[in-house]
Each structure stands twice: as C-alpha cells, then as structure tokens.
Amino acid sequence: MTSFPLLNELRTKTQKLHSKLEQESCFADLMKADISYGQYVAALNSLNTFLATLEPAIEAYLTKSDYVYKPRLWCVQSDLEALGHPPVLDTPRRTMTDTEAIGAAYVIEGSTLGGKILHKRLQKQDFIANANALSYFSFYKENTWSDYINWLAKQSLSPAENNEVCAGAISAR
C-alpha cells in the first residue's frame, strides 16, 4: 500500500471522525446485514447534502489538475429518485481553498472506495435492487482511489498547505 507523509497525516487526523461516522450516524445502518427503506433513504439524503455542499468547490479545483475529480452527486440523486424521494436541491455550497478541496476529495474518494464494499451487501436488499438504487455505491471505477493517491503523492505542498489539506478533510465530514 502506498504511504507518504501527507497520506499518513490525513489517515491519522481523520481516523477518529471516520470511526465515529461508521458507528454513530445513519451510515452505521449501511453496515448492518439488513437495512430498512427509511434507513437507506436517510443515508442517501445525508450523502446528497454532503456531496452537494462539497462537490462544486472540489470540481472547481480538481478539474484543472492532472487528477480529474469525477462528480458523483448525480448518482445519489438518481438513487433517491429511484426510491421515490426527490433529492433536496437547494443545499448551501461550501467555499474552500484549493488545498482544502484536496482534503475534501480525500474524504469523498475514500467514501467511494468504501461504497464498493457496501455495494455487495446492499444489493442483497430487495427494495434497493428492485429500484435499481445503487448508483452511488457502484460508482467506484478501477483505480479511482489509487489515481487520487498517486496524484496526491506528486503534489509539492508546504507544511502549511499540508495542514490546509488536513483541515479540508476534517471539515468535509
């Protein structure tokens, strides 16, 4: 597995938030063998808000670099529509610096990687499979995470910029 100082710092500084998210939020329901319709919709609504808040700023920066962020908000919105729940579209957008956007992308790319694992469990739920409501959890493409990490490793960032990247990841929650 690839490792470099900024990646190690990101992992360390986001580890507690990641664990808390998996254990105490609506995303904890995604880890269960059985998830209810309401629990799944709640998780998708949270993802919708999360992505709608962050994606515009990330796209503004990461489409101008060697690494191109692939938008995935549309996937969550498609899943909500398939389940009969129109997504909230008027979510306030977050402003961030370019380096904070790099950190926010770390969180989203990690979420997408985790979605690959959850996809196998969620596709066994009839109401999800029948509605074809797995666009977000099947978004992961080969090398998505490794492309991001390899790009991140090539960035020449100052210690202050590394701190901003970590701040962007922490505030992305």
> For 119-160, how does the pLDDT look when each residue is reduced to its tens digit (9 = 90+)?
999 999 999 999 999 999 999 888 889 999 999 999 999 999
Q: Distance between CA 134 and CA 137 in Å, rounded?
A: 5
> For 89-111, how does the pLDDT look when each residue is reduced to its tens digit (9 = 90+)?
888 889 999 999 999 999 999 99
Structural domain total, the chain: 1
Single pTM value for the model:
0.92
CATH number of the domain to which 45 belongs: 1.20.910.10
Q: Show the domain range for 28.
A: 5-172
At 167, the amino acid letter reads A
- pLDDT category, 1, cuts 50, 70, 90? low
Contacts of 90 (CB under 8 A, 6+ apart): none
Backbone angles phi, psi at 152, to 5 degrees: -60, -40
Which of the 8 DSSP states describes residue 138? G
How far from the centroid of its chain's Cα atoms is residue 56's Cα? Answer: 13
Q: What is the pLDDT of residue 144?
A: 86
> For 4-42, how does the pLDDT look when each residue is reduced to its tens digit (9 = 90+)?
999 999 999 999 988 888 887 888 899 888 999 999 999
